[in-house]
Structure 1
Amino acid sequence: MKALLLQLERALWGRAPLRWLVLGLDRLARRGLWLWGRMRFAALVPQRGQGCVCHWNADLKYPERLTLGDGVVIGTNVSIGAHSPVTIGHRVRLSREVMIETAGLDFSALQPPYTHRSAPIVIEEGVWIGARALVLGGVTIGAHSVIAAGAVVTRSCPPRSVLGGVPARVLSTIDELSAKESRA
């Protein structure tokens, strides 16, 4: 049965018009979703700068508490939970599947239901946050810093830092990396 299906698939995709039709419909669907994402983003986030781009499937919770600078790029499957205000500076890049979450549960009560507590997040200009990184409430990420993929940022960091790990710690600074490259 599997061999028959593979043979049918090979025969169908061997025909150029069918392949063109499928690829054309795919391109049309992607363009439509891109346009929908732009319109949805513009309607949801009133406090945004010029040239901001947000992938259509980004999850924006409490978008009215989100402030974006110019040229911010929000990638695929990003989740931003702005229970408290989230401020993102100019030219910040959020790679795919980044999570920014201002709220968490307060476990000081001994029994559920636990209450939410939240703290604002500030991401200064020129920051690049790698894929699947997590930024938690109460954090300020200094300008022109880089957060490694998969890092969990629980504390604030100075400008021009390179952070990585769980929990994230400063691995180096951009200035140190530039000095090493110039010596090499």
Structure 2
Amino acid sequence: MLKTYGLFGIIQLFYFKIRTKLVFNKARMIRFPFYIRGRKNIVVGEGFTTGYNCKLDAFDINNSKQELITIGKNVQINDNVHIAGIEKIEIHDNVLIASKVFITDHNHGKYSGENADSPLSIPKERPLHSAPVIIEKNVWIGEFVSILPGVTIGEGSIVGTMSVVNKNVPPYCIVVGSPARVVKRFNFEKNTWISSKYD
């Protein structure tokens, strides 16, 4: 441990460990600075670990007093991850999230279908529109990924770096790109990842 972190690093880890228990007593380690809004609407499972400069925002705009962000057991998010919810974001057990990832269940304005917002309106004054985001267990999300409202990412899937996820991801797949598309599926009979045409 001394070789990895050095004396100052070890002291810093102990400091973070003490502060962690004051913020989320079930968490394993929160590295500060760590930003949180709407603490009463956020539930974190055992073993939660963060990198530096992470941000959890739960905006209870409907005064529902319900859990808006739920994080399961042994979830790890790395540096500069931002998770923002107004309706429902569920992150299930054993999810690994790389640095600089953005996850949101809402948008400022509506941009498809009837009654879409005009580009002449002021963005911050447009009504918020939301749809739940669910990330099932054992998912790995690469660096610089954005996950948009209304998306479910299936169990055991991998989201490649810099992908933008704007539709559901099936279980046991690898998706890449903007927008993200399936490039591989896990074949349980052969016990290997098989290349797939874009879905």
Compute the TM-score of the two structures, normalised by the length of structure 2. 0.70
TM-aligned CA distance change 1:38 to 1:101, over 3 Å: farther
Gaps of 5+ in 1: 1-22
TM-aligned CA distance change 1:179 to 1:158, over 3 Å: closer
With 70-79 and 144-153 compared, the bigger mean Cα shift is at 70-79
* Matching residue of 1:83: 86
CA contact (8 A) 2:154 2:171 kept: yes
* Matching residue of 1:141: 153
With 108-117 and 130-139 compared, the bigger mean Cα shift is at 108-117
CA contact (8 A) 2:147 2:166 kept: yes
Task: Kindly name which structure, 1 or 2, has the bigger radius of gyration based on alpha carbons.
Answer: 1
Sequence identity (%):
27
User: What CA distance in whole angstroms lies between the structure 1 residues aligned with 2:140 and 2:92?
Assistant: 11
SS of equivalent residue, structure 1 residue 174: strand
Gaps of 5+ in 2: 1-5, 27-38, 60-66, 111-115, 195-199
SS of equivalent residue, structure 1 residue 125: coil
User: What CA distance in whole angstroms lies between the structure 2 residues aligned with 1:105 and 1:168?
Assistant: 22
TM-aligned CA distance change 1:34 to 1:165, over 3 Å: farther
With 92-101 and 60-69 compared, the bigger mean Cα shift is at 60-69
CA contact (8 A) 1:128 1:146 kept: yes
Is 1:109–2:117 an aligned residue pair?
yes
TM-aligned CA distance change 1:31 to 1:56, over 3 Å: farther
Letter in 2 for 1:98: V
Q: CA RMSD in A?
A: 2.4
Q: Which runs of 4+ in 1 moved over 4 A?
A: none
